[in-house]
Chain A
C-alpha cells in the first residue's frame, strides 16, 4: 500500500497514484468492453439483448465514472509523456540556493491539463445525462 501515500511529496504524487488507479479501472472496463462490443457479430437480436441488459441508471453512472477516469488518465498521461521527453522542465542548471524544483516548473502544465480534463468531463457529462439519458 506504500504507493498510495503521497508522504512529503506534492500533488504530483497523488496524481501518480490516481493515474494508476484510473488505469486499472479503465483496463478492467476495456476487457469487458471488448467482449460486449464483439457481441455485434452475433446479430441484431443478441446485440439488442446485451444493450437492454446494460441499459440501467447504475450502468450509466458506472460508464460515466469510466469516462471520468479516461479524461483524467488521458490528459495526465499526456503531461507524463511530455515531461518524460523533457518538455516543461526547463534547462539543466547548477543547484544554486534558493533551489528550484523541476517538479514545480512543470506544475502549470498539470493545472492546464486538469482544467482541460474538467472541460472534457463536463462536455461528456452533458452527453451522458442529457442527450441520451437511460430509459
Chain B
C-alpha cells in the first residue's frame, strides 16, 4: 500500500537520481576545470559567473537543481530527526519548519538566478 511517506520517499530517491546527474555536471564544471583543458580560466571570477548566469540552460539547471537538492537534503534531515521518536506534535512542527526553510531558500535562490539572468 502506498502511503504519503512512501510517496515522499520515492520522490527522495528520484531527486537523488536527478542530483547525481546535475550536481555531477556542476562539479565537473566547477572543480574539474583544470582537467578539461581550460587552464587559466577562473570559474569563480565575476565575469565567468555572470557568463554562466546569462545562459538559459544554466538558469534551468540551477533552478531544477536548487529545488531537487533542497527537497532531497531537507527530507533526509527530517527523516534522521524523526528517528529520535519524537511526539507526533513535534514531528508536525519540524515538518512545517523544514518546508518553510526549503521554500524560503528556493525563493531566494531562484530570485537570485532570475535576477542575475536579467542583469
Contact residues of A with B, CB < 8 Å? 3, 20, 23-24, 26-27, 30-31, 34-35, 37-41, 44, 47-48, 51, 67, 70, 74, 77-78, 81, 84, 123-124, 126-128, 130-132
Contacts and interface: CB of A to CB of B under 8 A. Distances in A.
- Classify chain B: how many residues form its interface, as a range: 35 or more
A74 B42 contact: no
10 contacts: A27-B76, A27-B77, A38-B112, A40-B50, A41-B112, A48-B46, A124-B31, A126-B34, A127-B35, A131-B34
B83 A34 contact: no
B84 to A, nearest CB: 10
Contact of B49 (A34, A47, A70, A77): A47
Given A35-B108, A40-B50, A123-B35, A81 B44 contact: no
A19 to B, nearest CB: 9
Contacts of B109: 34, 37-38
Given A41-B116, A41-B119, A81-B13, A123 B32 contact: yes
Interface string B81-119: 001000000000000000000000100110110011001
Contacts of B74: 27
A124 B26 CA distance: 12
Main secondary structure of the interface of A (DSSP, over half): helix
A77 B32 contact: no
A1 to B, nearest CB: 11
Q: Which of B31, B35, B66, B69 has the most CB of A within 10 A?
A: B31
B31 A67 contact: yes
A70 B27 contact: yes
A132 B116 CA distance: 25
A34 B23 CA distance: 14
Contacts of B20: 74, 77-78
A29 to B, nearest CB: 10
B112 A37 contact: yes
A37 B27 CA distance: 15
A20 B80 contact: yes
B60 interface: no
